[in-house]
Structure 1
Amino acid sequence: MTILSADIRKKAHLVSGAVLGSFVLCHLINHSLGLISVGAMEAGRRTLGLLWQSTPGTVLLYSALLLHFLMALDSLYRRQTLRMPVGEALKIVFGLSLPFLLIPHVVAARVEPILTGINADYPMILRGLWSHASNASRQSVALLLVWGHACLGAWFWMRGRSWFARYEILLYTIAILVPIFALFGFVSGARSLPPVYAEHGAYGDRASISRSQNSPTAEDIRLALYAGFTGLIGGALALRALPSRGRIRVRYPDGRVAAVSLGFSVLEASRAAGIPHVSVCGGRGRCSTCRIRIIEGLEGQPEPDAAELATLTRIGAPNNVRLACQFRPVHNVTVVPVLDNDSLGTKTQLARHNGGGRERQVAVLFCDLRDFTRIAEHRLPYDTVFLLNRYFQMVGEAVEGSGGVIDKFIGDGALAIFGLKGSYKDACLQSLTAAMRLSEGVRALNQTFEAELRHPLRLAIGLHAGPAIIGEMGYGRATSLTAVGDTINIASRLEGLAKEHDCELAVSVELAGRAGIGLDGNRRLDISLRGRQARLETWIVENAAEISKALPAED
Structure 2
Amino acid sequence: MYVRWLRLSTGLILATYIILHLLNLALGLLSIGAMEGFRKAVTEIWYHPVGGILLYFSFLTHFLLALWSLYRRSNLRLKAWEAMQLTLGLLILPLAASHIIGIRLRAELFHVEVTYPQVVAKYWLEPWLGWKQVILVLVIWLHMTIGLHYWLRLKAWYPKALPVLYLAAALLPVLALLGLARTGLTIAPELASPEWVARLFAPYMPQQEAVLKPIEHWSLAVMAGMLLATLAAREIRRAVRNRYGSFRMSLESGRRVIAPVGLTMLEAIRAAGIPHASVCGGSGRCTTCRVRVNAGLDALPLPNDTERRALSRIEAPRNVRLACQTRPRRDLAVMPLLPPSASAQVARRLGAVQGHEQTVTVMFLDLRGSTALGERMLPYDAVFVLNRFFAEMSAALKETNGHYAQFNGDGLMALYGLERGVEAGCRDALAGAAAMFRRLAALNESLEAEMGQALQMGIGIHTGEAIVGTMGPPDAPTLTAVGDTVNVAARLESETKTFGCRIVVSETTAAGSGYDFARFPRHTAELRGRTEPLPVFAVDDADALTMQPA
TM-score normalised by L of structure 1? 0.66
Alpha carbons of structure 1 residues 427 and 21: separation in structure 2 relative to 1, 3 Å: farther
Q: Distance in 2 between matches of 1:214 and 1:492?
A: 80
Shift of 1:303: 0.7
Aligned to 2:94: 100
Kept in 1, the 8 Å contact 2:434–2:545? The answer is no
Matches within 5 A, 1:213-362: 214-243=208-237, 244=240, 246-253=243-250, 256-260=256-260, 262-272=261-271, 274-281=272-279, 282-294=281-293, 297-313=296-312, 317-329=316-328, 331-338=329-336, 355-359=341-345
Kept in 1, the 8 Å contact 2:106–2:212? The answer is yes
**Residue number among 14, 17, 26 corresponding to 1:20 in the alignment:** 14
Aligned to 1:484: 479
Shift of 1:292: 3.8
Structure 2 counterpart of 1:184, which letter? L
Structure 2 counterpart of 1:107, which letter? I
Alpha carbons of structure 1 residues 439 and 106: separation in structure 2 relative to 1, 3 Å: closer
Alpha carbons of structure 1 residues 433 and 258: separation in structure 2 relative to 1, 3 Å: closer
Structure 1 counterpart of 2:330, which letter? N
Q: Structure 2: where are the runs of 5+ without partners?
A: 350-359, 373-388, 439-457, 496-503, 520-534
Alpha carbons of structure 1 residues 100 and 489: separation in structure 2 relative to 1, 3 Å: farther
Shift of 1:27: 0.8
Aligned to 2:462: 462
Structure 2 counterpart of 1:335, which letter? A
Kept in 1, the 8 Å contact 2:362–2:489? The answer is no
Alpha carbons of structure 1 residues 201 and 25: separation in structure 2 relative to 1, 3 Å: farther
Write out per-residue CA displacement over residues 443-496 of structure 1, whole angstroms, 9 at most, x where no aligned residue. xxxxxxxxxxxxxxx99743599xx9899x8899xx9xx983679997888999
Counting aligned pairs with the same residue, the percent is 27
Aligned to 2:122: 128
Kept in 1, the 8 Å contact 2:153–2:344? The answer is no
Q: Distance in 1 between matches of 2:110 and 2:198?
A: 19
Q: Distance in 1 between matches of 2:39 and 2:423?
A: 41
**Residue number among 85, 88, 106 corresponding to 1:112 in the alignment:** 106
Shift of 1:139: 1.0
Write out per-residue CA displacement over residues 158-217 of structure 1, whole angstroms, 9 at most, x where no aligned residue. 344444433334333332322222112111112212733334799776964863585333
Kept in 2, the 8 Å contact 1:439–1:459? The answer is no
Matches within 5 A, 1:75-94: 75-94=69-88
- Equivalent pairs, count: 468
Structure 1 counterpart of 2:462, which letter? G
Q: Distance in 2 between matches of 1:24 and 1:94?
A: 15
Shift of 1:234: 3.3
Q: Secondary structure at the match of 1:130?
A: helix
Asked if 1:190 corresponds to 2:158, the answer is no
Alpha carbons of structure 1 residues 271 and 280: separation in structure 2 relative to 1, 3 Å: closer
Kept in 1, the 8 Å contact 2:118–2:200? The answer is no
Q: Distance in 2 between matches of 1:51 and 1:105?
A: 18
Write out per-residue CA displacement over residues 494-544 of structure 1, whole angstroms, 9 at most, x where no aligned residue. 9999x9xxx9555679975xxxx787999xxxxxxxxxxxxxxxxx99798
Alpha carbons of structure 1 residues 255 and 108: separation in structure 2 relative to 1, 3 Å: closer
Structure 2 counterpart of 1:100, which letter? P
Q: Structure 1: where are the runs of 5+ without partners?
A: 1-6, 342-350, 370-380, 383-393, 441-457, 523-539
Write out per-residue CA displacement over residues 334-370 of structure 1, whole angstroms, 9 at most, x where no aligned residue. 33343599xxxxxxxxx8xxx434427999553699x
Alpha carbons of structure 1 residues 552 and 271: separation in structure 2 relative to 1, 3 Å: same
Q: Secondary structure at the match of 1:258?
A: strand
TM-score normalised by L of structure 2? 0.67
Q: Distance in 2 between matches of 1:400 and 1:336?
A: 35
Alpha carbons of structure 1 residues 308 and 496: separation in structure 2 relative to 1, 3 Å: farther
Q: Secondary structure at the match of 2:129?
A: helix
Kept in 2, the 8 Å contact 1:276–1:340? The answer is no
Aligned to 1:44: 38
Shift of 1:302: 1.5
Shift of 1:266: 1.8
Alpha carbons of structure 1 residues 179 and 439: separation in structure 2 relative to 1, 3 Å: closer
Q: Distance in 1 between matches of 2:429 and 2:505?
A: 14
Q: Distance in 2 between matches of 1:295 and 1:459?
A: 40
